[in-house]
Amino acid sequence: MKCVTTIHELRSDLKPSRGKIIGFVPTMGYLHEGHLSLVERAKKMCDVVVMSIFVNPLQFGPTEDLEKYPRDLARDTALAEANGVDFLFTPSVEEMYPTASKTLVTVKDITDSLCGASRPGHFDGVATVVSKLFNIVQPDYAFFGMKDAQQVAVIQQMVSDLNMPVTIVPCEIVREADGLALSSRNVYLNEEQRRQALVLFRSLNTVKQAFDNGERRTAALKEAAVSAISKSPEARIDYVEIREYPSLAEIETIDGEALVALAVYFENTRLIDNIKLSVRGGNAHVSHHDESQNSPGHGDRSELELCGQYNN
């Protein structure tokens, strides 16, 4: 694996790979099995895999966790290498933003709700850095985890609107064996918060059960999630939303593809999670976020199996 810190060096290192299929896994580091599942997918589909690790200041608000965001480059480098990454790009902030940026990429409307509403400017930061990284790496495929389902929708919209020559590959959420979605921010949780954090997954399963029992009204499904989360004394709801996916338009009933998304604080730690529900031709369906693995009629599967990939 080649470790590269400058844009110039990465561009020249990738020259011999032009013409091959280049896969790109952008990350902010502190790698976990979720990131590594993106690498695994990229390796299956591409000849060359580039990973970036860059904690992007532009996507953090002034009171957010930019300074304390977990970082461990030595460990990340070893993990990337062991998992078959070919190029690891770890630019400095000065390398990515040498002067005060005067160009910002803004994706309208779908950034107004959910995380976009709670974190003003966040998706401008994401869209801008991802545009820059796409211009630097020029990948054929880029791999993103569906835990940030709104981020995937925003990037897909941006790629389509700006005719970027890259295919976005959404990859399913990876969970701990007990259901907690993997996140670099899980490290902030103390033992009790970690225990109570299972309420995110449990509330999504409560919604899923109600949906399986025929409930289609988003207000009633939202209420079921809120009441499940309220059972956890340390949980403070940021939002619980059910929106059409990927437009993120408001809906009163589910009659197509819908995203059940939530963000919950445990003290200062904000965790997000989601599931996709869909009604196709009158049949209910819960998505793994990975269309290639979807099949209708999961009614005989266990609750745990229904929402992603498990890290046992």
Q: What is d(CA 89, CA 22) in angstroms, rounded to the nearest whole number?
A: 14
**Residue (113 or 253) nearer to ligand PAF, CB:** 113
CB 96 within 8 A of CB 132: yes
Residue (59 or 206) nearer to ligand PAF, CB: 59
According to the binding rule CB under 6 A, does residue 124 interact with ligand PAF?
no
Judged by CB under 6 A, does residue 176 bind ligand PAF?
A: no
Cα–Cα distance measured from residue 84 to residue 49, given in angstroms and rounded to the nearest whole number? 8
Note whether 248 binds ligand PAF by CB under 6 A: no
Query: What is the DSSP secondary structure assignment for residue 138, as one 8-state letter?
Result: -
Nearest to 286 by CA among 259, 262, 264: 259
Which candidate, 172, 169, 136, 171, places its Cα nearest to that of 155?
Answer: 169
Cβ nearer to ligand PAF, comparing 79 with 306: 79
For residues 155 and 40, the answer to whether their CB atoms sit within 8 Å is: no
Q: Does 196 bind ligand PAF (CB under 6 A)?
A: no
HSE-CB for 210 with a 13 A CA cutoff: 21
How far apart CA 87 and CA 1 sit, in angstroms, is 6
CB of 2 to ligand PAF, least distance (A): 20
Residues 133-162 that bind ligand PAF (CB under 6 A): 148, 151
Tell whether residue 169 is a contact of ligand PAF (CB under 6 A). no
Interface segment toward ligand PAF; rule CB under 6 A; list 10-18, 101-109, 125-133, 189-197: 125-133
Using CB under 6 A, pick the residue from 7, 14, 24, 27 that binds ligand PAF.
27
Verify whether residue 289 is a known catalytic residue.
no
Can residue 272 be called a binding residue for ligand PAF (CB under 6 A)?
no
Give, as one character, the DSSP assignment of residue 258.
Answer: E
- Active-site residue set: 35
Q: What residues make contact with ligand PAF under the rule CB under 6 A?
A: 26-28, 56, 59, 126, 129-130, 148, 151
